[in-house]
């Protein structure tokens, strides 16, 4: 590949920065190598843009429409999705959230929370050791992590299924 | 004179039950689709079959078309995949598609200067002939870029590549096209173009 050619193609296609564009236009004016190459490539560019498209047979549209007539009405994405699947996924998520909440509540050391100072001055370090970092919270974090994984997995599955539809 | 309906308006009409409106979409895009299919098949009959297939597939999946991309980009994606499947069925797997050897026969046949003398044929003829000699991927990129009016990003979607890869491939495709033209015209490229 010729680096000069690549630079000039980028210039013709408008893919380079304004600064680069200015540099190349100066080179085209002053450097005969760049000028010759530019003239050569611009001629090819014009030939490519002037090319005509091929024409299928006269009956092409009719042939397609004959085949279309045998097809059933296309459905929108909404109607393509089975609502039972959506309800199933929703129920699964609801159940998982509920399970997480139950486990979390069960694991919390409620007596530690009750043992707060009477004047209600909150000692965060104390809370940190007795309450915040209790195993219940750790389990909760773990469940959140699993939940995130499941959501990511479902998103990937959704992307894959959409691609297959096309 | 009334304004032409946009692709989206026609799609909405088709999805709303007006099947005949689809004919407008076919008429609008058939030349692009056919030309693209022809670059793969190099045979009008097969290209027409693939093109018909593409429009039927597009009709069936019309409901799943997400309007974030141009309809033409979506349609070209179907052409590209259908044509690739066609080539694979013809036992030209991806590796042999990239293999320039498969094109040598066609090239040597086409390069007979007696048949295609500069006096007889126009420059369009030679550029078309040179595109026919390119590998399908190269011809597709050139076609999409110049005929399909697709940006690098859109071509990347159609071909399932990164936009930067498409840019590099476009450079290479044009370089190869120039080489083919030089071989076809034996040094008369500058005069003809």
pLDDT per position as a tens digit, A70-127: 888 887 666 666 778 888 888 898 898 899 888 888 887 777 655 555 555 555 555 5
Res. B114: pLDDT tops 80 = no
More confident call, A126 vs B147: B147
Distance CA B107, CA A41 (A): 23
Q: What is the pLDDT of residue B110?
A: 44
Which residues of chain B lie closer than 8 angstroms to A158, CB-CB? none
First-to-last C-alpha distance (Å) of chain A: 36
**For the packed helices B152-159 and B163-185, what is the interaxial angle rounded to 10 degrees?**
90
Distance CA A112, CA A110 (A): 5
Q: Determine the average pLDDT of the residues in B156-172.
A: 92
How buried is B152 (Cβ within 10 angstroms: 0-12 exposed, 13-18 middle, 19+ buried)?
buried
Distance CA B140, CA B157 (A): 13
How buried is A39 (Cβ within 10 angstroms: 0-12 exposed, 13-18 middle, 19+ buried)?
middle
Distance CA B54, CA B77 (A): 10
* Average pLDDT across chain B, whole number: 81
Angle at A85 between CA A82 and CA A86, to 5 degrees: 95
Q: Determine the average pLDDT of the residues in A27-54.
A: 90
Distance CA B102, CA B95 (A): 11
The verdict on a CB contact (< 8 Å) between B174 and A9 is yes
Please name the CATH architecture into which domain B95-185 falls: Orthogonal Bundle (1.10)
Q: Determine the average pLDDT of the residues in B32-49.
A: 91
Q: Determine the average pLDDT of the residues in B31-42.
A: 90
Largest CA distance in chain B: 57
Res. B108: pLDDT tops 80 = no
Distance CA B181, CA A39 (A): 16
Q: Measure in Å the smallest separation between the Cα of A6 and chain B Cα atoms.
A: 7
Q: Which residues contact A24 (CB under 8 A, 6 or more apart)?
A: A7, A8, A11, A16, A34
* Average pLDDT across chain A, whole number: 80
Exposure string for A53-90, b = 16+ CB within 10 A, e = fewer: bbebeeebbebbbeebeeeeebeeeeeeeeeeeeeeee
Quote the tokens at residue B175: 């370089």
Q: Using the 8-state DSSP alphabet, how is residue A81 labeled?
A: S
Please name the CATH architecture into which domain B1-91 falls: Orthogonal Bundle (1.10)
Exposure string for A6-36, b = 16+ CB within 10 A, e = fewer: bbbbbbeeeebeeeeeeebeebbeeeeebee
Q: What is the pLDDT of residue B25?
A: 92
Q: Determine the average pLDDT of the residues in B40-47.
A: 89
Quote the tokens at residue A159: 């992307």
ipTM score above 0.90: no
Least confident of A63-72, A131-140, B65-74, B82-91: A131-140
Distance CA A28, CA A7 (A): 11
Mutate to test the interface with A, among B146, B150, B169 (most CBs of A within 10 A): B146
Q: Are B63 and A76 in contact (CB under 8 A)?
A: yes
The verdict on a CB contact (< 8 Å) between B19 and A68 is yes
Per-residue confidence band for B120, with pLDDT thresholds at 50, 70 and 90 = very low
Residue recorded with tokens 């530690």: A112
Chain centre to alpha carbon of residue A88: 25
Q: Determine the average pLDDT of the residues in A131-155.
A: 76
First-to-last C-alpha distance (Å) of chain B: 39
Q: What is the pLDDT of residue B90?
A: 78
Q: Using the 8-state DSSP alphabet, how is residue A119 labeled?
A: T
Which residues of chain A lie closer than 8 angstroms to B172, CB-CB? 1
Quote the tokens at residue A23: 């540099």
DSSP B55-104: HHHHHHTGGG--TTS-HHHHHHHHHHHHHHHHHHHTT--HHHHS-THHHH
Distance CA B76, CA B157 (A): 9
Q: Determine the average pLDDT of the residues in B62-90.
A: 88
Which residues of chain B lie closer than 8 angstroms to A2, CB-CB? 175
The number of residues in chain A equals: 166
Q: Determine the average pLDDT of the residues in B111-117.
A: 46
Per-residue confidence band for A38, with pLDDT thresholds at 50, 70 and 90 = very high
Res. A44: pLDDT tops 80 = yes
Q: Measure in Å the smallest separation between the Cα of B38 and chain A Cα atoms.
A: 8
Which residues of chain A lie closer than 8 angstroms to B12, CB-CB? none
Res. A139: pLDDT tops 90 = no
Distance CA B138, CA B131 (A): 8
Q: What is the pLDDT of residue A75?
A: 72
Res. B68: pLDDT tops 90 = no
Q: Determine the average pLDDT of the residues in A34-59.
A: 89
Res. B102: pLDDT tops 50 = no
**Domain spans of chain B, in order of start:** 1-91, 95-185
Q: Determine the average pLDDT of the residues in B143-169.
A: 90
């Amino acid at each position: 590949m010729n680096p000069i050619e690549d630079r000039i193609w980028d210039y013709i296609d408008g893919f380079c920065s304004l600064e680069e564009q200015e540099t190349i236009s100066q080179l085209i004016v002053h450097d005969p190598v760049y000028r010759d190459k530019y003239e050569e490539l611009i001629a090819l560019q014009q030939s490519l843009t002037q090319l005509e498209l091929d024409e299928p047979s006269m009956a092409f549209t009719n042939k397609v429409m004959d085949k279309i007539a045998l097809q059933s009405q296309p459905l929108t994405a909404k109607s393509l999705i089975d609502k039972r699947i959506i309800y199933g996924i929703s129920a699964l998520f609801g159940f998982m959230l509920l399970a997480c909440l139950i486990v979390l509540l069960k694991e919390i050391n409620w007596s530690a929370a009750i043992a707060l100072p009477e004047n209600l001055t909150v000692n965060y370090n104390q809370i940190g050791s007795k309450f915040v970092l209790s195993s219940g919270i750790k389990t909760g974090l773990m469940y959140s992590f699993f939940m995130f994984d499941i959501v990511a997995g479902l998103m990937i599955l959704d992307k894959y299924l959409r691609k297959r539809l096309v | 004179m009334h304004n032409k309906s946009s692709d989206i308006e026609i799609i909405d009409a088709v999805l709303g039950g007006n099947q005949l409106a689809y004919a407008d979409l076919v008429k609008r895009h058939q030349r692009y689709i056919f030309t693209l299919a022809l670059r793969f098949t190099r045979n009008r009959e097969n290209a027409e079959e693939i093109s018909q297939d593409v429009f039927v597939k597009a009709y069936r999946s019309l409901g799943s078309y997400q309007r974030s991309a141009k309809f033409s980009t979506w349609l070209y994606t179907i052409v590209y995949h259908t044509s690739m499947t066609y080539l694979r069925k013809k036992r030209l797997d991806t590796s042999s598609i990239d293999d320039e050897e498969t094109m040598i026969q066609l090239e040597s046949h086409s390069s007979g200067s007696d048949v295609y003398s500069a006096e007889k044929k126009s420059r369009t003829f030679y550029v078309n002939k040179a595109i026919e000699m390119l590998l399908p991927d190269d011809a597709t990129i050139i076609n999409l870029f110049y005929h399909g009016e697709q940006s690098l990003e859109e071509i990347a979607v159609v071909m399932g590549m990164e936009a930067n890869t498409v840019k590099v491939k476009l450079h290479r495709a044009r370089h190869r096209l120039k080489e083919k033209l030089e071989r076809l015209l034996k040094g008369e490229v500058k005069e003809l173009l």
